[in-house]
């Protein structure tokens, strides 16, 4: 059985909790989304740790990491991960990010392209390259929460004390198979997002959206040269992830995972493992 080791790194402005598994000389970094933590990868880590040293941090403000008052633009969050990897002496990595973790992964790859051998982005279109357009409601889909989370104070007032009901709505309604996210999984996410300051920190990831768009347009002046894998769930963003990343990188491979919503690592872990195995090795 793969042993998960929990650690905390003091980076000055922020303390990052992170999980490590595996003893390979090849490093794989996994970056989670909202409203999740490193825990979203827990079904995959034992398999991935057979071939990699897996590092899965809780991003700034989330999970069991500390909650600074600012710095939730993805450029800064990526710099946290870069500092963590410097402390661990890991400067050649494979990188996977989901949701906001995908945006952080892109910002990391853009700032340290020489570190990232391969990049996988899961079910997100990036600010500046499709996310703003996706905010517009259509007959098929409305991403209403993007605009709601941008508002100051009101979301905290309405969600505070109701974190379980709010978070559960996303896992039940943005999934192809809601049963894939268990009550125990939701318990863990609620434990983290109901902690003091965690709800606000999670919302700040959305409130940095327009700064992220500006940063991404600046990053895009230099296209990524490492291989990129872009995956979307067929009941979520589907082929739009590939369309987004093709604007930013020269070597993009895309795929749509069937019978899958937004929560790829939890809804279709076997399919995701197959894609990552083919791409990373």
Average pLDDT over residues 252-275: 97
pLDDT tens column, 9-42? 999 999 999 999 999 999 999 999 999 999 999 9
What domains does the chain contain, in order, with CATH numbers?
Answer: 5-280 (3.40.50.1820)
Model pLDDT, residue 1: 61
CA nearest to 199, candidates 160, 152, 171: 160
Flag whether pLDDT at 136 surpasses 90: no
Q: Look-up: residue for tokens 């490093």?
A: 27
Q: Are the CB atoms for 45 and 19 separated by under 8 Å?
A: yes
- Average pLDDT score over residue span 180-191: 97
d(CA 230, CA 239): 8
Catalytic center residues: 99, 206, 262
Of the two residues 179 and 3, the one the predictor is more confident about is 179
Name 17's bridge partners.
8
Segment 53-65 mean pLDDT: 98
Q: Which CA distances in Å does 204 have to 37, 59, 72, 122? A: 15, 12, 6, 21
In the prediction, which pLDDT does 138 show?
Answer: 66
Q: Average pLDDT of 165-169?
A: 97
Q: Is the pLDDT of residue 281 over 90?
A: no
Average pLDDT over residues 63-86: 98
Residue 211, classified by CB atoms within 10 Å of its CB into exposed (0-12), middle (13-18) or buried (19+), is middle
Give phi and psi for 266, each to the nearest 5: -100, -35
* pLDDT for residue 248 is more than 70: yes
194-234 per-position pLDDT tens digit: 999 999 999 999 999 999 999 999 999 999 999 999 999 99
Strand partners, 229: 120, 253
Q: Are 196 and 57 in contact (CB under 8 A)?
A: no
Which parts of 66-127 are beta strand (E)? 93-98, 116-122
Integer angstrom CA distances of residue 13 from 41, 162, 190: 26, 30, 25
């Amino acid at each position: 059985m793969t042993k998960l080791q929990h650690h905390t790194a003091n980076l000055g402005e922020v303390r990052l909790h992170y999980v490590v598994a595996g003893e390979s000389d090849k490093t794989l970094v996994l970056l989670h989304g909202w409203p999740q933590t490193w825990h979203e990868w827990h079904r995959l880590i034992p398999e991935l740790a057979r071939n990699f040293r897996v590092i899965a941090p809780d991003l700034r403000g989330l999970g069991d990491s500390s909650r600074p008052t600012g710095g939730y633009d993805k450029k800064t969050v990526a710099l946290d991960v870069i500092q963590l990897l410097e402390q661990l002496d890991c400067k050649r990595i494979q990188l996977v990010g989901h949701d906001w973790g995908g945006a952080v992964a892109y910002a990391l790859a853009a700032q340290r392209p020489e570190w990232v051998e391969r990049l996988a982005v899961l079910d997100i279109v990036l600010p500046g390259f499709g996310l703003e357009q996706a905010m517009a409601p259509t007959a098929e889909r409305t991403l209403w929460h993007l605009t709601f989370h941008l508002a100051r104070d009101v979301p905290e007032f309405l969600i505070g004390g109701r974190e379980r009901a709010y978070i559960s709505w996303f896992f039940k309604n943005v999934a192809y198979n809601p049963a894939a996210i268990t009550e125990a999984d939701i318990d863990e996410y609620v434990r983290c997002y109901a902690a003091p300051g965690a709800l606000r920190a999670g919302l700040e990831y959305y409130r940095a959206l327009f700064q992220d768009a500006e940063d991404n347009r600046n990053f895009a002046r230099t296209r990524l040269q490492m291989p990129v894998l872009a995956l979307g769930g067929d009941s979520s963003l589907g082929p739009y992830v590939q369309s987004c990343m093709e604007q930013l990188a020269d070597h993009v491979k895309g795929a749509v995972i069937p019978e899958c919503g937004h929560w790829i690592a939890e809804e279709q872990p076997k399919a995701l493992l197959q894609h990552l195995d083919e791409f990373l090795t």
